[in-house]
Chain A
Amino acid sequence: MLSKRFFSSLTAAALAMAIVGSPALAQEKEHKDQHKNETKVKGEQPREVGKKQDGKKEGVAVGGTAPTFTIRDTDNKEVSLSSILGDGNIVVLQWFNPDCPFVVKHYKETKTFNDLHAKYSGKKVVFLAINSGAPGQQGTGLKRNQEAKKEWSIPYPILLDESGETGKAYGAKNTPGMYIVTPDGKIAYKGAIDDDNSAKGPGKTNYVANALDEILAKKPVTTTETKPYGCSVKYANK
Protein backbone atom coordinates (compact mmCIF):
# COMPACT_ATOMS: atom_id res chain seq x y z
CA MET A 1 0.00 0.00 0.00
CA LEU A 2 1.33 3.38 -0.89
CA SER A 3 1.74 5.63 2.05
CA LYS A 4 0.16 9.04 2.47
CA ARG A 5 3.68 10.35 2.82
CA PHE A 6 4.49 9.11 -0.62
CA PHE A 7 1.45 10.74 -2.18
CA SER A 8 2.17 14.00 -0.43
CA SER A 9 5.76 13.88 -1.60
CA LEU A 10 4.55 13.33 -5.15
CA THR A 11 2.36 16.39 -4.82
CA ALA A 12 5.27 18.40 -3.56
CA ALA A 13 7.42 17.16 -6.41
CA ALA A 14 4.74 18.08 -8.92
CA LEU A 15 4.49 21.54 -7.41
CA ALA A 16 8.23 21.91 -7.62
CA MET A 17 8.09 20.92 -11.27
CA ALA A 18 5.40 23.46 -11.99
CA ILE A 19 7.90 26.24 -11.66
CA VAL A 20 10.06 24.86 -14.44
CA GLY A 21 10.13 27.13 -17.43
CA SER A 22 9.51 30.28 -15.46
CA PRO A 23 11.25 33.35 -16.87
CA ALA A 24 14.88 33.63 -16.00
CA LEU A 25 15.83 36.31 -13.56
CA ALA A 26 18.24 39.06 -14.38
CA GLN A 27 20.74 37.36 -12.13
CA GLU A 28 20.43 34.22 -14.14
CA LYS A 29 20.96 36.04 -17.43
CA GLU A 30 24.05 37.65 -16.03
CA HIS A 31 25.28 34.27 -14.94
CA LYS A 32 24.64 32.82 -18.40
CA ASP A 33 26.60 35.60 -20.02
CA GLN A 34 29.51 34.84 -17.76
CA HIS A 35 29.23 31.17 -18.64
CA LYS A 36 29.46 31.53 -22.38
CA ASN A 37 32.10 29.14 -23.67
CA GLU A 38 33.12 28.32 -20.11
CA THR A 39 32.63 24.58 -20.42
CA LYS A 40 35.88 23.03 -21.48
CA VAL A 41 36.17 19.31 -21.95
CA LYS A 42 39.23 17.24 -22.64
CA GLY A 43 38.79 13.53 -23.30
CA GLU A 44 41.12 10.59 -23.34
CA GLN A 45 42.00 11.28 -26.94
CA PRO A 46 41.56 14.47 -28.93
CA ARG A 47 38.20 14.35 -30.60
CA GLU A 48 35.14 16.33 -31.34
CA VAL A 49 32.86 16.22 -28.33
CA GLY A 50 29.62 14.39 -29.01
CA LYS A 51 30.94 12.62 -32.09
CA LYS A 52 31.09 8.85 -32.10
CA GLN A 53 34.31 7.03 -32.86
CA ASP A 54 34.37 3.95 -35.04
CA GLY A 55 30.65 3.51 -34.50
CA LYS A 56 31.24 2.68 -30.86
CA LYS A 57 29.21 3.93 -27.96
CA GLU A 58 29.63 7.52 -26.94
CA GLY A 59 31.03 8.10 -23.48
CA VAL A 60 33.71 6.81 -21.21
CA ALA A 61 34.55 3.24 -20.31
CA VAL A 62 35.56 1.93 -16.92
CA GLY A 63 39.34 2.06 -16.79
CA GLY A 64 39.45 4.85 -19.35
CA THR A 65 40.53 8.43 -18.68
CA ALA A 66 37.83 10.75 -17.39
CA PRO A 67 37.27 13.75 -19.66
CA THR A 68 38.43 16.81 -17.78
CA PHE A 69 36.28 19.91 -17.52
CA THR A 70 36.07 23.35 -16.08
CA ILE A 71 32.52 24.46 -15.35
CA ARG A 72 31.05 27.24 -13.21
CA ASP A 73 28.84 26.22 -10.33
CA THR A 74 25.75 27.88 -8.89
CA ASP A 75 28.00 30.16 -6.81
CA ASN A 76 29.65 31.33 -10.03
CA LYS A 77 32.89 29.62 -9.13
CA GLU A 78 34.95 27.70 -11.66
CA VAL A 79 35.29 24.05 -10.80
CA SER A 80 38.06 22.11 -12.51
CA LEU A 81 38.19 18.33 -12.39
CA SER A 82 41.93 18.22 -13.03
CA SER A 83 42.59 20.62 -10.14
CA ILE A 84 40.57 18.48 -7.74
CA LEU A 85 42.25 15.29 -8.90
CA GLY A 86 45.61 17.02 -8.70
CA ASP A 87 45.07 17.41 -4.98
CA GLY A 88 44.83 13.65 -4.64
CA ASN A 89 41.06 13.43 -4.31
CA ILE A 90 38.64 10.79 -5.50
CA VAL A 91 35.79 12.48 -7.37
CA VAL A 92 32.19 11.31 -7.42
CA LEU A 93 30.22 12.79 -10.31
CA GLN A 94 26.46 12.78 -10.15
CA TRP A 95 24.32 13.91 -13.07
CA PHE A 96 21.69 16.15 -11.61
CA ASN A 97 18.24 17.54 -12.36
CA PRO A 98 16.38 18.95 -9.33
CA ASP A 99 13.00 18.23 -10.91
CA CYS A 100 13.66 14.65 -11.94
CA PRO A 101 11.56 12.43 -9.61
CA PHE A 102 14.44 9.97 -9.18
CA VAL A 103 16.75 12.78 -8.04
CA VAL A 104 14.02 14.16 -5.80
CA LYS A 105 13.72 10.73 -4.20
CA HIS A 106 17.38 10.56 -3.31
CA TYR A 107 17.53 14.07 -1.86
CA LYS A 108 14.11 14.55 -0.32
CA GLU A 109 12.93 11.08 0.71
CA THR A 110 15.86 8.79 1.22
CA LYS A 111 18.62 11.38 1.77
CA THR A 112 20.91 9.06 -0.16
CA PHE A 113 23.29 11.69 -1.45
CA ASN A 114 23.63 13.79 1.67
CA ASP A 115 24.23 10.65 3.72
CA LEU A 116 26.77 9.43 1.20
CA HIS A 117 28.61 12.74 1.32
CA ALA A 118 28.63 12.71 5.12
CA LYS A 119 29.95 9.14 5.21
CA TYR A 120 33.02 10.06 3.17
CA SER A 121 33.63 13.46 4.68
CA GLY A 122 37.32 13.94 5.50
CA LYS A 123 38.37 10.99 3.34
CA LYS A 124 39.52 12.97 0.32
CA VAL A 125 36.35 12.21 -1.63
CA VAL A 126 34.90 15.18 -3.52
CA PHE A 127 31.32 15.15 -4.76
CA LEU A 128 30.18 17.17 -7.77
CA ALA A 129 26.66 17.39 -9.16
CA ILE A 130 26.48 18.23 -12.85
CA ASN A 131 23.34 19.51 -14.56
CA SER A 132 23.71 19.03 -18.33
CA GLY A 133 20.19 20.19 -19.12
CA ALA A 134 19.88 22.82 -21.81
CA PRO A 135 18.35 26.21 -21.00
CA GLY A 136 14.56 25.99 -20.89
CA GLN A 137 14.53 22.27 -20.15
CA GLN A 138 13.24 20.73 -16.93
CA GLY A 139 15.30 21.54 -13.85
CA THR A 140 17.67 23.96 -15.52
CA GLY A 141 18.73 27.51 -14.80
CA LEU A 142 20.77 29.11 -12.10
CA LYS A 143 17.83 30.05 -9.89
CA ARG A 144 16.21 26.62 -9.88
CA ASN A 145 19.49 24.90 -9.03
CA GLN A 146 20.36 27.43 -6.33
CA GLU A 147 16.93 26.77 -4.80
CA ALA A 148 17.48 23.02 -4.85
CA LYS A 149 20.91 23.34 -3.31
CA LYS A 150 19.46 25.36 -0.48
CA GLU A 151 16.27 23.32 -0.02
CA TRP A 152 18.10 20.00 0.15
CA SER A 153 21.20 21.37 1.91
CA ILE A 154 23.43 19.99 -0.82
CA PRO A 155 26.93 20.44 0.59
CA TYR A 156 28.82 20.20 -2.71
CA PRO A 157 28.82 22.24 -5.92
CA ILE A 158 26.19 21.97 -8.62
CA LEU A 159 27.84 22.60 -11.98
CA LEU A 160 25.78 24.03 -14.81
CA ASP A 161 26.86 22.28 -18.02
CA GLU A 162 24.22 23.96 -20.15
CA SER A 163 25.92 23.11 -23.44
CA GLY A 164 25.80 19.44 -22.47
CA GLU A 165 29.40 18.99 -23.64
CA THR A 166 30.61 17.39 -20.46
CA GLY A 167 27.55 15.18 -20.15
CA LYS A 168 27.96 13.90 -23.69
CA ALA A 169 31.71 13.42 -23.25
CA TYR A 170 30.93 11.07 -20.38
CA GLY A 171 27.96 9.53 -22.17
CA ALA A 172 25.68 10.50 -19.30
CA LYS A 173 22.09 9.55 -20.12
CA ASN A 174 20.40 9.59 -16.75
CA THR A 175 19.78 11.66 -13.69
CA PRO A 176 21.12 10.51 -11.34
CA GLY A 177 23.88 8.84 -13.35
CA MET A 178 27.06 8.20 -11.34
CA TYR A 179 30.77 8.10 -12.12
CA ILE A 180 33.73 7.66 -9.77
CA VAL A 181 37.08 9.06 -10.86
CA THR A 182 40.23 8.01 -9.00
CA PRO A 183 43.06 10.50 -8.38
CA ASP A 184 44.92 9.19 -11.44
CA GLY A 185 42.01 10.39 -13.57
CA LYS A 186 40.63 6.95 -14.40
CA ILE A 187 36.99 5.89 -14.29
CA ALA A 188 36.60 3.35 -11.49
CA TYR A 189 32.82 3.00 -11.57
CA LYS A 190 29.92 4.10 -13.70
CA GLY A 191 26.23 3.39 -13.47
CA ALA A 192 23.42 3.62 -10.93
CA ILE A 193 23.61 4.95 -7.39
CA ASP A 194 21.85 1.86 -6.03
CA ASP A 195 19.76 -1.16 -6.88
CA ASP A 196 16.27 0.38 -6.59
CA ASN A 197 15.38 1.83 -9.97
CA SER A 198 12.01 3.18 -8.90
CA ALA A 199 11.12 6.77 -8.15
CA LYS A 200 10.48 5.91 -4.49
CA GLY A 201 12.08 3.97 -1.72
CA PRO A 202 15.72 3.38 -0.85
CA GLY A 203 17.88 0.76 -2.48
CA LYS A 204 19.39 -2.12 -0.56
CA THR A 205 22.81 -1.89 -2.18
CA ASN A 206 24.57 1.41 -2.76
CA TYR A 207 26.99 0.68 -5.58
CA VAL A 208 28.85 3.98 -5.20
CA ALA A 209 29.46 3.46 -1.49
CA ASN A 210 30.67 -0.08 -2.10
CA ALA A 211 33.07 1.11 -4.79
CA LEU A 212 34.36 3.97 -2.63
CA ASP A 213 34.96 1.62 0.29
CA GLU A 214 37.02 -0.66 -1.92
CA ILE A 215 38.99 2.19 -3.49
CA LEU A 216 39.77 3.66 -0.07
CA ALA A 217 40.83 0.21 1.15
CA LYS A 218 43.15 -0.06 -1.89
CA LYS A 219 41.15 -3.02 -3.15
CA PRO A 220 39.94 -3.65 -6.69
CA VAL A 221 36.38 -2.47 -7.27
CA THR A 222 34.12 -5.52 -7.41
CA THR A 223 31.20 -3.96 -9.29
CA THR A 224 32.61 -1.47 -11.76
CA GLU A 225 29.56 -0.94 -13.93
CA THR A 226 25.80 -1.14 -13.51
CA LYS A 227 22.85 -0.05 -15.60
CA PRO A 228 22.00 3.50 -14.63
CA TYR A 229 18.39 4.51 -14.12
CA GLY A 230 16.36 7.67 -13.79
CA CYS A 231 15.20 10.47 -16.05
CA SER A 232 16.93 11.20 -19.31
CA VAL A 233 19.46 14.02 -19.19
CA LYS A 234 17.63 16.98 -20.69
CA TYR A 235 20.09 17.85 -23.44
CA ALA A 236 19.25 20.45 -26.05
CA ASN A 237 17.02 19.28 -28.86
CA LYS A 238 19.02 18.63 -32.00
Chain B
Amino acid sequence: MNTTGVLVLLLFAAAVPLAYSQPVEQPSSQHVKATLICETTTIQPNSTVHIGVLFQIEKGWHIYWDGQNDSGMPPRFHMMLPDGCTAGEWLWPAPKRHISPGDVLDHVYENEVLLILPIRVGTNVKPGEKIAFRIEADWLVCQHMCIPESAKLELEVPITNDRTKPGNHSKYFEIARTTIPKAWPLGHGHAAVWRGNEITIRGKNAESVAFFPSKSCPEIDNLLKRGQTKGDSISLHFPKMGELPAPQQRVTGVVELRFKGVKQPVYYSVDFLRPPGGG
Protein backbone atom coordinates (compact mmCIF):
# COMPACT_ATOMS: atom_id res chain seq x y z
CA MET B 1 0.00 0.00 0.00
CA ASN B 2 1.35 3.36 -0.95
CA THR B 3 0.32 5.73 1.77
CA THR B 4 1.04 8.97 -0.05
CA GLY B 5 -2.14 9.24 -1.92
CA VAL B 6 -5.55 7.99 -2.76
CA LEU B 7 -5.57 5.38 -5.60
CA VAL B 8 -6.62 1.81 -5.81
CA LEU B 9 -4.98 -0.39 -8.39
CA LEU B 10 -6.12 -3.95 -8.90
CA LEU B 11 -4.96 -6.72 -11.16
CA PHE B 12 -7.22 -9.44 -12.43
CA ALA B 13 -7.69 -11.79 -15.35
CA ALA B 14 -10.38 -11.40 -17.99
CA ALA B 15 -11.89 -13.92 -20.30
CA VAL B 16 -11.68 -11.73 -23.41
CA PRO B 17 -8.87 -9.22 -23.80
CA LEU B 18 -9.82 -5.76 -25.01
CA ALA B 19 -8.42 -4.49 -28.27
CA TYR B 20 -7.35 -1.20 -26.75
CA SER B 21 -7.24 0.80 -23.53
CA GLN B 22 -10.75 1.35 -22.34
CA PRO B 23 -11.36 4.23 -19.96
CA VAL B 24 -14.47 3.86 -17.87
CA GLU B 25 -15.65 7.37 -17.25
CA GLN B 26 -17.77 8.08 -14.25
CA PRO B 27 -19.62 11.31 -13.74
CA SER B 28 -17.95 13.23 -10.97
CA SER B 29 -19.47 16.68 -10.84
CA GLN B 30 -20.45 19.54 -13.00
CA HIS B 31 -17.19 21.47 -12.65
CA VAL B 32 -14.46 18.90 -13.30
CA LYS B 33 -14.56 15.78 -15.40
CA ALA B 34 -11.85 13.30 -14.45
CA THR B 35 -10.85 10.44 -16.71
CA LEU B 36 -8.25 7.75 -16.22
CA ILE B 37 -6.27 7.15 -19.39
CA CYS B 38 -3.31 5.10 -20.58
CA GLU B 39 -0.67 6.23 -23.04
CA THR B 40 -0.56 2.93 -24.89
CA THR B 41 -3.13 0.46 -26.15
CA THR B 42 -1.47 -2.50 -24.47
CA ILE B 43 1.05 -3.28 -21.77
CA GLN B 44 4.04 -5.57 -22.07
CA PRO B 45 5.27 -7.63 -19.15
CA ASN B 46 8.43 -6.25 -17.55
CA SER B 47 7.92 -2.71 -18.80
CA THR B 48 6.97 0.77 -17.66
CA VAL B 49 3.58 2.15 -18.62
CA HIS B 50 2.29 5.67 -18.12
CA ILE B 51 -1.25 6.19 -16.95
CA GLY B 52 -2.75 9.50 -15.96
CA VAL B 53 -5.76 11.31 -14.59
CA LEU B 54 -7.06 13.85 -17.09
CA PHE B 55 -8.87 16.74 -15.41
CA GLN B 56 -11.13 18.72 -17.74
CA ILE B 57 -12.10 21.83 -15.81
CA GLU B 58 -15.08 24.05 -16.43
CA LYS B 59 -14.22 27.48 -17.76
CA GLY B 60 -13.50 29.98 -15.00
CA TRP B 61 -12.75 27.31 -12.39
CA HIS B 62 -9.40 25.94 -11.25
CA ILE B 63 -7.80 23.12 -9.33
CA TYR B 64 -4.54 23.31 -7.40
CA TRP B 65 -0.89 22.50 -8.06
CA ASP B 66 0.97 20.41 -5.51
CA GLY B 67 3.24 23.25 -4.41
CA GLN B 68 2.94 26.34 -2.21
CA ASN B 69 -0.47 27.97 -2.27
CA ASP B 70 -2.20 30.43 0.03
CA SER B 71 -5.41 28.41 -0.22
CA GLY B 72 -6.94 25.28 -1.71
CA MET B 73 -5.80 21.68 -1.88
CA PRO B 74 -4.17 19.71 -4.71
CA PRO B 75 -5.80 16.53 -6.02
CA ARG B 76 -5.16 13.50 -3.84
CA PHE B 77 -5.03 9.86 -4.90
CA HIS B 78 -5.21 6.60 -3.05
CA MET B 79 -3.10 3.73 -4.27
CA MET B 80 -2.83 0.04 -3.58
CA LEU B 81 -0.58 -1.81 -5.95
CA PRO B 82 -0.81 -5.50 -6.81
CA ASP B 83 2.24 -7.69 -6.48
CA GLY B 84 4.73 -7.10 -9.21
CA CYS B 85 3.65 -3.52 -9.95
CA THR B 86 5.26 -0.44 -8.50
CA ALA B 87 4.32 3.19 -8.99
CA GLY B 88 6.69 6.06 -9.52
CA GLU B 89 6.07 9.67 -8.50
CA TRP B 90 3.18 11.68 -9.89
CA LEU B 91 4.37 14.09 -12.56
CA TRP B 92 2.84 17.54 -12.11
CA PRO B 93 2.84 19.95 -15.06
CA ALA B 94 3.84 23.53 -14.29
CA PRO B 95 0.96 25.64 -12.94
CA LYS B 96 0.01 29.26 -13.49
CA ARG B 97 -0.16 32.00 -10.87
CA HIS B 98 -3.64 32.92 -9.69
CA ILE B 99 -4.31 35.94 -7.47
CA SER B 100 -7.63 36.32 -5.65
CA PRO B 101 -8.96 39.41 -3.83
CA GLY B 102 -7.09 39.90 -0.56
CA ASP B 103 -3.73 39.16 -2.22
CA VAL B 104 -4.28 35.42 -2.05
CA LEU B 105 -1.66 33.80 -4.29
CA ASP B 106 -2.19 30.29 -5.57
CA HIS B 107 -0.67 28.14 -8.28
CA VAL B 108 -3.38 26.45 -10.28
CA TYR B 109 -4.51 24.56 -13.33
CA GLU B 110 -7.28 25.79 -15.57
CA ASN B 111 -9.09 24.25 -18.53
CA GLU B 112 -7.31 20.90 -18.79
CA VAL B 113 -4.41 19.12 -17.12
CA LEU B 114 -3.07 15.58 -17.10
CA LEU B 115 -1.26 14.25 -14.04
CA ILE B 116 0.91 11.33 -15.11
CA LEU B 117 1.88 8.32 -13.04
CA PRO B 118 4.56 5.88 -14.25
CA ILE B 119 3.80 2.27 -13.36
CA ARG B 120 6.45 -0.40 -13.46
CA VAL B 121 4.82 -3.67 -14.51
CA GLY B 122 6.54 -6.85 -13.39
CA THR B 123 7.26 -10.11 -15.16
CA ASN B 124 4.44 -11.99 -13.45
CA VAL B 125 1.63 -10.53 -15.56
CA LYS B 126 0.44 -12.79 -18.31
CA PRO B 127 -0.27 -11.99 -21.98
CA GLY B 128 -3.91 -12.57 -22.79
CA GLU B 129 -5.00 -11.19 -19.47
CA LYS B 130 -5.51 -7.56 -18.63
CA ILE B 131 -4.65 -5.11 -15.94
CA ALA B 132 -7.46 -3.10 -14.42
CA PHE B 133 -6.58 0.20 -12.82
CA ARG B 134 -9.11 1.51 -10.31
CA ILE B 135 -8.60 4.94 -8.90
CA GLU B 136 -10.31 6.98 -6.26
CA ALA B 137 -9.38 10.61 -6.39
CA ASP B 138 -10.56 13.76 -4.70
CA TRP B 139 -9.82 17.37 -5.37
CA LEU B 140 -10.97 20.87 -4.64
CA VAL B 141 -12.28 23.03 -7.48
CA CYS B 142 -12.69 26.75 -6.93
CA GLN B 143 -14.01 29.84 -8.60
CA HIS B 144 -15.85 32.33 -6.39
CA MET B 145 -16.52 29.34 -4.19
CA CYS B 146 -14.73 26.08 -3.49
CA ILE B 147 -16.31 22.68 -3.91
CA PRO B 148 -14.79 19.29 -3.04
CA GLU B 149 -15.29 16.73 -5.77
CA SER B 150 -14.30 13.12 -6.18
CA ALA B 151 -14.45 10.30 -8.68
CA LYS B 152 -13.96 6.59 -8.93
CA LEU B 153 -12.13 5.83 -12.15
CA GLU B 154 -11.40 2.61 -13.96
CA LEU B 155 -9.22 1.60 -16.86
CA GLU B 156 -8.53 -1.80 -18.33
CA VAL B 157 -5.47 -2.45 -20.47
CA PRO B 158 -4.70 -5.78 -22.19
CA ILE B 159 -1.35 -7.45 -21.66
CA THR B 160 0.49 -8.64 -24.73
CA ASN B 161 3.99 -9.55 -25.77
CA ASP B 162 3.59 -7.38 -28.87
CA ARG B 163 5.18 -3.99 -29.11
CA THR B 164 2.97 -1.32 -27.55
CA LYS B 165 1.35 1.40 -29.65
CA PRO B 166 0.15 4.88 -28.78
CA GLY B 167 -3.48 4.89 -27.72
CA ASN B 168 -6.33 7.26 -28.41
CA HIS B 169 -5.23 9.43 -25.52
CA SER B 170 -1.52 9.58 -26.22
CA LYS B 171 -1.83 13.19 -27.40
CA TYR B 172 -2.71 14.23 -23.85
CA PHE B 173 0.56 12.75 -22.62
CA GLU B 174 2.49 14.57 -25.36
CA ILE B 175 0.87 17.87 -24.39
CA ALA B 176 1.44 17.32 -20.67
CA ARG B 177 5.12 16.59 -21.17
CA THR B 178 5.63 20.02 -22.73
CA THR B 179 4.78 21.58 -19.38
CA ILE B 180 6.32 19.04 -17.01
CA PRO B 181 9.46 20.74 -15.69
CA LYS B 182 12.80 19.45 -16.87
CA ALA B 183 15.97 19.41 -14.79
CA TRP B 184 17.70 22.79 -14.57
CA PRO B 185 20.41 22.70 -17.24
CA LEU B 186 23.97 23.29 -16.21
CA GLY B 187 25.55 25.86 -18.49
CA HIS B 188 23.55 27.13 -21.47
CA GLY B 189 24.02 30.63 -20.05
CA HIS B 190 21.54 30.04 -17.23
CA ALA B 191 22.75 30.77 -13.74
CA ALA B 192 21.78 30.85 -10.08
CA VAL B 193 23.81 33.11 -7.79
CA TRP B 194 23.50 33.39 -4.01
CA ARG B 195 24.10 36.57 -2.10
CA GLY B 196 23.36 36.17 1.59
CA ASN B 197 19.74 35.11 1.92
CA GLU B 198 18.92 36.05 -1.65
CA ILE B 199 19.23 34.09 -4.84
CA THR B 200 19.17 35.50 -8.35
CA ILE B 201 18.13 33.07 -11.05
CA ARG B 202 18.98 34.05 -14.61
CA GLY B 203 17.60 32.51 -17.77
CA LYS B 204 19.68 33.45 -20.78
CA ASN B 205 17.71 35.61 -23.24
CA ALA B 206 14.50 35.18 -21.23
CA GLU B 207 11.89 37.89 -21.60
CA SER B 208 10.33 37.12 -18.21
CA VAL B 209 10.96 34.77 -15.31
CA ALA B 210 8.57 33.33 -12.72
CA PHE B 211 9.15 31.06 -9.77
CA PHE B 212 6.69 28.58 -8.30
CA PRO B 213 7.95 27.32 -4.90
CA SER B 214 7.53 23.70 -3.93
CA LYS B 215 5.98 22.81 -0.58
CA SER B 216 9.41 22.35 1.02
CA CYS B 217 10.82 25.66 -0.21
CA PRO B 218 11.48 28.17 2.60
CA GLU B 219 9.32 31.26 2.87
CA ILE B 220 9.95 33.86 0.18
CA ASP B 221 9.58 37.56 0.95
CA ASN B 222 6.61 39.03 -0.92
CA LEU B 223 6.21 36.22 -3.43
CA LEU B 224 3.08 37.93 -4.69
CA LYS B 225 5.08 40.82 -6.15
CA ARG B 226 8.49 39.29 -6.58
CA GLY B 227 7.61 35.84 -7.84
CA GLN B 228 7.26 37.03 -11.41
CA THR B 229 9.50 39.56 -13.16
CA LYS B 230 10.20 41.01 -16.58
CA GLY B 231 13.69 40.57 -17.90
CA ASP B 232 16.05 37.62 -17.81
CA SER B 233 16.44 37.23 -14.05
CA ILE B 234 14.49 36.97 -10.83
CA SER B 235 15.73 37.68 -7.31
CA LEU B 236 14.14 35.90 -4.40
CA HIS B 237 14.75 36.83 -0.78
CA PHE B 238 14.41 34.26 2.00
CA PRO B 239 14.14 36.14 5.31
CA LYS B 240 14.26 33.02 7.48
CA MET B 241 16.77 31.02 5.46
CA GLY B 242 19.55 31.52 7.99
CA GLU B 243 17.44 30.03 10.79
CA LEU B 244 17.07 26.68 9.03
CA PRO B 245 19.37 23.65 9.36
CA ALA B 246 21.92 23.66 6.56
CA PRO B 247 20.34 20.78 4.58
CA GLN B 248 17.05 22.72 4.41
CA GLN B 249 18.69 25.88 3.11
CA ARG B 250 17.69 25.17 -0.46
CA VAL B 251 15.43 26.66 -3.06
CA THR B 252 13.13 24.10 -4.58
CA GLY B 253 10.39 24.64 -7.11
CA VAL B 254 9.77 25.41 -10.75
CA VAL B 255 11.31 28.20 -12.80
CA GLU B 256 9.31 29.45 -15.75
CA LEU B 257 11.20 31.16 -18.57
CA ARG B 258 9.36 32.98 -21.34
CA PHE B 259 11.10 34.00 -24.53
CA LYS B 260 10.16 36.69 -27.01
CA GLY B 261 8.20 35.34 -29.94
CA VAL B 262 7.82 31.90 -28.37
CA LYS B 263 4.34 31.01 -27.15
CA GLN B 264 5.28 28.03 -25.01
CA PRO B 265 7.30 28.82 -21.85
CA VAL B 266 10.11 26.55 -20.74
CA TYR B 267 9.86 25.03 -17.26
CA TYR B 268 12.72 23.84 -15.12
CA SER B 269 12.65 21.98 -11.84
CA VAL B 270 15.27 23.48 -9.54
CA ASP B 271 16.95 22.55 -6.28
CA PHE B 272 19.57 25.15 -5.38
CA LEU B 273 21.44 24.49 -2.14
CA ARG B 274 22.65 27.62 -0.39
CA PRO B 275 26.41 27.43 0.04
CA PRO B 276 27.83 27.84 3.54
CA GLY B 277 27.66 31.49 4.52
CA GLY B 278 25.26 32.30 1.73
CA GLY B 279 27.76 32.61 -1.11
Contacts and interface: CB of A to CB of B under 8 A. Distances in A.
A2 B71 contact: no
A2 B102 contact: no
Interface in B132-171: 136, 138, 140, 142, 144-150
B150 A2 contact: yes
B120 interface: no
A2 B6 contact: yes
A176 to B, nearest CB: 11
A138 B148 contact: no
A173 interface: yes
B271 interface: no
A33 B142 CA distance: 30
Contact of A238 (B71, B101, B138, B149): B101
A1 B78 CA distance: 7
A55 B150 CA distance: 40
B102 A235 contact: yes
Contact of A236 (B70, B101, B136): B101
A99 B138 CA distance: 18
B181 interface: no
Interface string B96-109: 00001111101000
Nearest to A7: B150
B70 A173 contact: yes
A210 interface: no
B145 A232 contact: no
Contacts of B138: 2, 10, 199-200
Query: How many A residues touch the partner, as a band?
Result: 35 or more
Interface stretch (A12-20, A37-45, A181-189): A12-20
A168 interface: yes
A184 to B, nearest CB: 26
Given A1-B78, A2-B6, A10-B150, A138 B101 contact: no
A173 B148 contact: no
Contacts of A235: 100-102
A230 B69 CA distance: 10
A171 to B, nearest CB: 9
A233 interface: yes
Nearest to B105: A173
A174 interface: yes
A233 B146 contact: no
Interface of A: 1-2, 7, 10, 13-14, 17, 20, 55-58, 99-102, 134, 137-139, 164, 167-168, 172-174, 197-200, 229-238
Counting from the closest, the 8 A-B pairs by CB-CB distance are A138-B145, A235-B101, A232-B71, A235-B102, A232-B104, A101-B148, A231-B146, A232-B100
